[in-house]
Structure 1
Amino acid sequence: MADVAFLLADQFEDSEMDNPYKALEEAGHTITIIGLENGEALIGKHGSTYITDFAASEAKGTSFDAVIIPGGGAPETLRVNDDVIRLVTEVNEQKKLIAGICHGPQVMISADILKDRNATCFVGIRDDIKLAGATYQDQEVVVSENIITARTPKDEPAFIKEILKRLNK
């Protein structure tokens, strides 16, 4: 089974964290929550709460098989943290899975890993995706090499399906 890191900060979109988390846990994968501080209680836009297992400064890309980035307001906070960007870059360099939904690809933009890839996202950041060098596709889920992206909570079933397909190989 895979070791999966969720990158999280306050104001994440609850369902985009809750549903993939539950699906991966039920599939037997080990889950680690990484935030800006260790042991921090993070609260979603609708009240879900998670406690971080590690600070991004403590996390190493070699420790994880995948990184999942839920959307909402959290990616805006995460994308300006050098340790988060380092971690995502390390995971990408190893061609391990990086998945982001809604605003999650903002972290990928800041890590400069979308050039020459196909991607989707919340429509409000589609121009940012294009400016990062990706080809924007208005689809429920887009798989481009080791990167999986999705648009909104309504696309979660397809997003989760693609993540599980990749991790259960």
Structure 2
Amino acid sequence: MTIKRILIIVGDFVEDYEIMVPFQILLMVGHKVDVVSPGKKAGEKVATAIHDFEGHQTYTEKPGHNFTLNGTYSDVKADDYDALVIPGGRAPEHLGNNESVLDLVRTFVSANKPIAAICHGPQLLAAANVLSGRKVSAYPACRAEMTLAGAEYQAISIDGAVTDGKLVTAPAWPAHPAWMRQFLAVLGSKVEA
């Protein structure tokens, strides 16, 4: 397997599972993974939130763990990375207002590099205006944003994932096995079943 350099972009109140699980899986299979947040340096932390599905009309939110960043956002250059991961939670809402983040996302898309986005993560892709004509999944409450961004929203089960070329999306953290399996396949990583 060729080791890939993967960038994960987060912000405060990223969904706890959606940062920690992919980070650990990608490290486990041998990839180099940098996690960055605008305005923060390596060693600083982002707050996380736990979104849970407890039978209400939408998810509930609880405080999560703090996640220690291992990269500095201002040092990031898309050319140094092979792929991008965008976790969900509330972070994509405010990251989508940061023009440097949107430019970074657009650079990955223009270079046709693999991108994995989950839950509210596709909001950042919509804000970057890079979803037109793409098949995507996202948390169901994001459906209107996906459609308005020109995407073909895929209403799949909460534990499913969708691959469209080098873009892999999923509706929420219960999809981690399918989402990461499909993303690893796009990366060319071998995982035993």
In the superposition, the TM-score normalised over structure 1's length comes to 0.95
User: Hey, which of these two has a bigger chunk of helix by percent?
Assistant: 1
Q: Match for 1:159 among 179, 183, 193?
A: 179
Q: Match for 1:142 among 162, 165, 186?
A: 162
Amino acid at match of 1:149: T
Q: Distance in 2 between matches of 1:47 and 1:128?
A: 26
Residue 101 in structure 1 maps to residue 105 in structure 2: no
Q: How does 1:29-108 map to 2 (within 5 A)?
A: 29-36=31-38, 37-39=40-42, 40-45=44-49, 46-52=63-69, 53-55=71-73, 57-108=74-125
User: What is the CA deviation profile of residues 82-114 of structure 1, one whole-angstrom value per residue up to 9, with x for unaligned ones?
Assistant: 111111111111100111100000110011110
SS in 2 for 1:44: strand
Q: Distance in 2 between matches of 1:49 and 1:147?
A: 28
In the superposition, the TM-score normalised over structure 2's length comes to 0.83
Q: Which has the larger radius of gyration?
A: 2
Q: Distance in 2 between matches of 1:112 and 1:2?
A: 26
Amino acid at match of 1:43: A
Work out whether residues 12 and 74 of structure 1, in 8 Å CA contact, stay in contact via their aligned partners in 2. Answer: yes
Q: Distance in 1 between matches of 2:134 and 2:17?
A: 26
How far has the Cα of 1:50 moved from its partner?
2.3
Specify every segment of 5 or more residues in structure 1 that has no aligned partner in the other structure, as ranges.
none
Q: Distance in 2 between matches of 1:35 and 1:58?
A: 11
RMSD, aligned α-carbons: 1.2
1:9 paired residue number: 11
Q: Distance in 2 between matches of 1:102 and 1:47?
A: 16
Q: Distance in 1 between matches of 2:91 and 2:116?
A: 15
Work out whether residues 92 and 146 of structure 1, in 8 Å CA contact, stay in contact via their aligned partners in 2. Answer: no
Q: Distance in 2 between matches of 1:16 and 1:58?
A: 23
SS in 2 for 1:114: coil
Amino acid at match of 2:151: A
User: What is the CA deviation profile of residues 49-87 of structure 1, one whole-angstrom value per residue up to 9, with x for unaligned ones?
Assistant: 2233121x4321111111101111111121111111111
Amino acid at match of 2:155: D
Q: Distance in 1 between matches of 2:165 and 2:186?
A: 11
Count of paired positions: 168
Q: Distance in 1 between matches of 2:28 and 2:6?
A: 13
Q: Distance in 1 between matches of 2:28 and 2:80?
A: 21
